[in-house]
Structure 1
Amino acid sequence: MIYGNVGGEIVIVASKGGADSHPQWYRNILAADTLEVQIATQAFEAAWREPLDDERHQVWEHMCHLYPPYIAYQQSTSRRIPLVMLSLLRPTATFTATQD
């Protein structure tokens, strides 16, 4: 998953490759007040929100600059691709894969 950083918040895009339905992880976020997120070796509890209006436009442009295929993804679907902003609340333990 590609992520960006805007104003100290992490941005993730619920594009699902331009599919006509939202990804399941986005539906899970809608049901939660806070999230546990891990990026590489940094794990944290985060609050989430969706940017609105002018801020949404600016964040969308930033994410399309980072990953231009988002433009085609939006053109291929009638749904508005959601943007999710994550704000760090506190560090948490990292998840590690077990080795066999």
Structure 2
Amino acid sequence: MANTNDWNSQIISEFRANNGKVGGPFANANLLLLTSTGAKSGQPRTTPLVYLPDGDRMVIFASKAGAPTNPDWYHNLLANPEATVEVGAETIKVKATVAGAEERDRLYNTQAALAPNFAEYQQKTTRKIPVVILERLG
């Protein structure tokens, strides 16, 4: 867990220092920083995530690289659906909703076609990876 936190901290610092631009494996990816409220702690938690633009919405995927459990940020959004995202230099208030089955499949398949590692993530796990839609508030 500490390694993941260190990895995420480095990405978050680089993202914020460069108006949303990062190097390494995320150099050309659509990347955002999600700040959700901890389901148990009530504390803000920031996570870098790849997203899929879908009109005015941003779509994120609870893949956790194909792990058997959903990521913490997913549980946080279920408990507290209002969050903020940083995209480039902009901070946006959003509300999260979990995509229904048909929309989930469409969005996940679109992301997997753009980034084949997402297809691999689904193959690695028995759970159906949730897809979360972020819509701007206000």
TM range (shorter): 0.7 to 0.9
Deviations 1:47-96 (A, max 9, x none): 11111132121111111122111111111111111111000114xxxxxx
1:7 is displaced (CA, Å) by 2.9
Is 1:49 aligned to 2:94, yes or no?
no
Shift of the 25–33 alpha-carbon distance from structure 1 to 2, 3 Å rule, reads: closer
- Of 4, 16, 34, the match for 2:64: 16
* Structure 2 SS opposite 1:79: coil
By relative contact order (CA 8 Å, sep 6+), the higher-ranking structure is 1
**Whole-angstrom CA distance in 2 between matches of 1:12 and 1:33:** 13
Ranges in structure 2 where 5+ consecutive residues have no aligned partner? 1-48
Higher helix share: 2
Count of aligned pairs: 90
**Whole-angstrom CA distance in 1 between matches of 2:114 and 2:82:** 26
> TM-score with structure 1 length normalisation?
0.82
- Of 38, 53, 65, the match for 1:5: 53
Is 1:40 aligned to 2:67, yes or no?
no
> TM-score with structure 2 length normalisation?
0.61
Code of the aligned partner of 2:107: V
Ranges in structure 1 where 5+ consecutive residues have no aligned partner? 91-100
Of all paired residues, the percent bearing the same amino acid is: 33
Deviations 1:28-59 (A, max 9, x none): 11111311111221111111111113212111
C-alpha RMSD of matched pairs (Å) = 1.2
Runs of 4 or more, structure 1, over 6 Å off, are: none
Quick check: 2:99–2:132 contact (8 Å CA) kept in 1? yes
Is 1:61 aligned to 2:109, yes or no?
yes
**Whole-angstrom CA distance in 1 between matches of 2:81 and 2:104:** 20
Quick check: 2:81–2:97 contact (8 Å CA) kept in 1? no
Code of the aligned partner of 1:16: K
